């Protein structure tokens, strides 16, 4: 039987939920599924991967040059173990979008992007034009399928698996022309935006970086991630890693609350798979009300403090 290799996404401490969603997609293809966990000191992460239902084997590869995510190093390692796999898959996140094209290029195949539906082992559907159309993609039957999974379209597989973990040394050497310097990121204890069950987002109507503290405080009270529209990011009210939408993060939380977001099609593309969408906007004609499950016309500067009082 053909086999599928999934590249695990993790932060060095915990397995990202995107990996469990890739397993669900791979299960729909029908192959045996292996997960490779690359890094340094990843025993606990490999154990998390081994707990995922439907996984046949977990391969743990430890090396210092794999401790930080450099696509040139990780891609070389995946290519070195590619023989025997008909499918190589990763999540359509920042991690996967950086890594998977390098793997496809090294293997000499075209990448299949954003798999939303599996029609067959080499036949898939993916959204285009901001989700306004769905395209059929068929990969050549004899070629290795290198693909990213649209994680907003798939539920995470359950735990309860008890698969074996195989430890291997690295097969490929560190790249001689690329090296890791440092990582600068904002510290936060909020859930990861792309995997959070609840997301509170703000738009340009917040009007300032200081006012975005309203979004942060409500998110913290709810145990939610904080997001933003592109207009808010472009205005400098919040960091660009908070951007939700076609050119930001595609998310599928159980609850999405949008404050002062008009609902441009590019933003809607990023939230259309959310379970429940709650929109708060003082403009009763805002397009976001057309797709919202619950809509409230009002001033966010009044409504957020009221919500915080009720929740507190």
The C-alpha atoms of residue 43 and residue 13 are separated, in whole angstroms, by 10
Task: Count how many Cα atoms sit within 13 Å of the Cα of residue 42 in the half-sphere of its side chain.
Answer: 32
Q: Are 121 and 143 a contacting pair, CB within 8 Å?
A: no
H or E stretch at 177:
none
Q: How confident is the model at residue 69 (pLDDT cuts 50, 70, 90)?
A: confident
The single residue listed with the structure tokens 């796999």 is 85
* Residue of 51, 47, 67, 6 whose CA lies nearest to 166: 47
Distances (CA, A) of 255 to 192, 251, 263, 300: 14, 11, 16, 18
Separation between Cα atoms, residue 59 and residue 226, nearest integer Å? 34
Reported as a pLDDT band with limits 50, 70 and 90, residue 190 is confident
What band does 185 get if pLDDT is binned at 50, 70 and 90? low
- Which residue intervals of the chain bear CATH 3.40.50.1220? 198-311
What digits encode the pLDDT tens for the residues 89-146? 999 998 999 999 999 999 999 999 999 999 999 999 999 887 788 999 999 998 999 9
Two tokens at 147? 């693909």
User: Is domain 198-311 classified as CATH 3.40.50.1220?
Assistant: yes
Residue 199 CB contacts under 8 Å (≥ 6 apart), including other chains? 193, 219, 224, 225, 226, 227, 244, 251, 253, 255, 256, 257, 274
Residues of the chain with CATH 3.40.50.620: 3-169
pLDDT tens profile 20-48? 999 999 999 999 999 999 999 999 999 99
- Supply the pLDDT for residue 192: 86
Task: Output the pTM of the full model.
Answer: 0.84
Res 1 pLDDT > 60: no
Please say whether the beta carbons of 161 and 51 come within 8 A: yes
The pLDDT of 70-80, averaged and rounded, is: 95
Q: What is the pLDDT of residue 161?
A: 80
pLDDT tens sequence across 241-270:
999 998 889 999 999 999 999 999 999 999
102 Cβ contact partners less than 8 Å away, ≥ 6 residues apart: 71, 72, 74, 75
Choice among 182-186, 228-232, 307-311 with the minimum mean pLDDT: 182-186
Average pLDDT, the chain: 94
More confident residue, 289 or 272: 289
pLDDT at 159 over 70: yes
The answer to whether residues 238 and 263 touch, using CB atoms and an 8 Å cutoff, is no
pLDDT-derived band at 179, boundaries 50, 70, 90: confident
Give residue 3's Cα distance to chain centre.
23
Is the per-residue pLDDT at 186 higher than 70?
Answer: no
CATH H-level superfamily of 3-169: HUPs (3.40.50.620)
Phi then psi dihedrals of residue 28, to 5 deg: -65, -30
The closest of 250, 255, 308 to 278, measured between CA atoms, is: 255
Our CA angle for 10, 14, 17, nearest 5°, is 70
């Amino acid at each position: 039987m053909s086999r599928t290799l999934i590249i695990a996404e993790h932060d060095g401490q915990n397995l990202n939920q995107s990996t469990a969603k890739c397993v669900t997609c791979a299960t729909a293809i029908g192959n045996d599924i292996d997960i490779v966990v690359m890094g340094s000191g990843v025993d606990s992460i490999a154990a998390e991967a081994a707990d995922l239902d439907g996984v046949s084997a977990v391969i743990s590869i430890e090396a210092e040059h794999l401790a930080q995510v450099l696509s040139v190093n990780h891609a070389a390692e995946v290519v070195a173990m590619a023989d025997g796999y008909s499918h190589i898959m990763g999540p359509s996140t920042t991690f996967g979008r950086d890594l998977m094209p390098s793997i496809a290029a090294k293997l000499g195949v075209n990448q299949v992007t954003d798999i939303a539906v599996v029609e067959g082992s080499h036949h898939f559907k993916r959204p285009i034009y901001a989700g306004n159309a769905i395209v059929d993609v068929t990969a050549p039957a004899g070629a290795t399928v290198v693909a990213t999974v649209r994680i907003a379209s798939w539920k995470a597989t359950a735990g309860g698996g008890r698969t074996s973990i195989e430890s291997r040394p690295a097969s490929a050497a560190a790249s001689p022309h690329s090296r890791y310097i440092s990582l600068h990121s904002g510290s936060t204890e909020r859930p990861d935006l792309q995997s959070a069950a609840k997301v509170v987002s703000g738009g340009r109507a917040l009007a300032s970086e200081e006012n975005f503290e309203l979004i942060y405080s409500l998110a913290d009270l709810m145990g939610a991630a904080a997001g933003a529209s592109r207009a808010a990011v472009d205005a400098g009210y919040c960091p660009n890693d908070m951007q939700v939408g076609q050119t930001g993060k595609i998310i599928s939380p159980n609850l999405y609350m949008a404050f002062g977001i008009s609902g441009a099609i590019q933003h809607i593309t990023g939230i259309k798979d959310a379970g429940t969408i709650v929109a708060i906007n003082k403009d009763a004609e805002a397009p976001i009300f057309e797709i919202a499950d619950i809509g409230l016309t009002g001033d966010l500067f009044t409504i957020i403090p009221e919500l915080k009082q009720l929740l507190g």
